[in-house]
Amino acid sequence: MGGGRVDVVVIGGGPAGLTAGIYLGRFLRSVVVLDAGNSRARYIPASHNCPGFPHGIAGEELLERLREQAEEFGATLVRARADGLEQVAGGFEVAAGGTSWRASKVILATGLADRLPDEPWAEEAIACGALRLCAVCDAFEARDGRVALMGPAAGLAGHARFLRGYTAQLAAIPTDRNLELDEVDGMRALGVEVFAHGGTMGFDGRRCRWRAADGRVSAFDTVYPYLGYEGRNALVADWGLEAGEEGELKVDRYQQTARPGLYAIGDVVSGLNQISVAVGQAAIAATHAHNSLPFVPRT
């Protein structure tokens, strides 16, 4: 699997990391992209808000195109999980399964891990759009359908407001407690049906079905679970870097963390977890990294 000295190691090969690989390759820098192969984008049945794809593109196909483009311009892609990151003289040492790379700069593009409903059918329901994880991404496709949002009671109102702009048939299902009376009033004023806490969600292969505690069953075209996520920042968890509540790393306007030479891009950073944000941050980080590496005149 190689190893050795390179200008930049990118950790994570989703849209953010692969875009950084494309830019650095085109800056004629040596770059290795390590990827554990678990991109959130692989869940996307078809994205319709990815610029340049008016008829949509599946997440897997987008990843394949980005990998091809990164390799085309000289990035080395390695399928491996980085299991060690250390600061050393002149840069960083990155380890993955017994191999290590020394790099002047490291770009963390490790993404985040969604908390999915703890159901064996969750991934199948995501694949057919019965379960959706990102209203900014695809509420447009769910518009005017029968939609449920489920999650902790305290967060439901804000999400309901966003989704109510897309459908008049919206239901809210609290996963931790019943809504208080004033919360119920707020939802009803918004035209949102409120369910009691304490039923179970099932999936019939096409649609999700909620069985309430009293036995009544309601079918939904789309369910949005809001169960949160965790930033995948384990490699730097004990580096004392500033992070938000869900582990998202804080960076400066060049995507650099408080450790010079260590950048972070994409969902591991962003509050707006979107492909277009991830690739924009990749362009910024890769350009700054390139400009701060030693100048190499062409011979």
Q: Which residues bind ligand FAD (CB under 6 A)?
A: 11-17, 34-41, 43-44, 47, 49-50, 81-82, 109-111, 114, 126, 133-134, 137-138, 232, 235, 266-267, 273-276, 278
Minimum CB distance to ligand FAD, residue 126 (Å): 5
- Residue 268 corresponds to which amino acid? V
Nearest approach in angstroms of CB 164 to ligand FAD is: 20
Q: How far apart, in whole angstroms, are the C-alpha atoms of residue 3 and residue 94?
A: 9
Give the nearest distance from C-beta 21 to ligand FAD in angstroms.
Answer: 11
Nearer to ligand FAD, 28 or 234 (CB): 234
**Residue nearer to ligand FAD on the CB measure, 63 or 187:** 63
Residue 204 DSSP class:
-
Cβ at position 165, least distance to ligand FAD in Å: 17
Contact between 142 and 280 (Cβ < 8 Å): no
Instruction: Quote the CA–CA distance of 107 and 72 in Å, as a whole number.
Output: 20
CB of 1 to ligand FAD, least distance (A): 12
HEC readout, 22-87: HHHHHCCCCEEEEECCCCHHHHCCCECCCCCCCCCECHHHHHHHHHHHHHHCCCEEEECCCCEEEE
Q: Can you tell me the distance from the alpha carbon of 99 to that of 229, in angstroms, rounded to the nearest whole number?
A: 30
Q: Minimum CB separation from ligand FAD for residue 212, in Å? A: 26
Instruction: Tell me if residue 221 falls in helix, strand or coil.
Output: coil
Closer to ligand FAD by Cβ: residue 187 or 208:
208
Distance CA 155, CA 170 (A): 15
Kindly tell me which of 95 and 157 has the beta carbon lying closer to ligand FAD: 95
Which contiguous run of DSSP H or E holds residue 263?
strand 262-264
Structure tokens at 14: 């989703």
Closer Cβ to ligand FAD, 38 or 100, answer by number: 38
**Considering beta carbons, is residue 128 or 217 the nearer one to ligand FAD?**
128
Residue closer to ligand FAD by CB (options 65, 188) is 65
d(CA 59, CA 47): 7
Q: How far is the CB of 184 from ligand FAD (least distance, A)?
A: 30
**CA distances from residue 234 to 82, 249, 252, 255 in whole angstroms, order as listed:** 10, 11, 20, 18
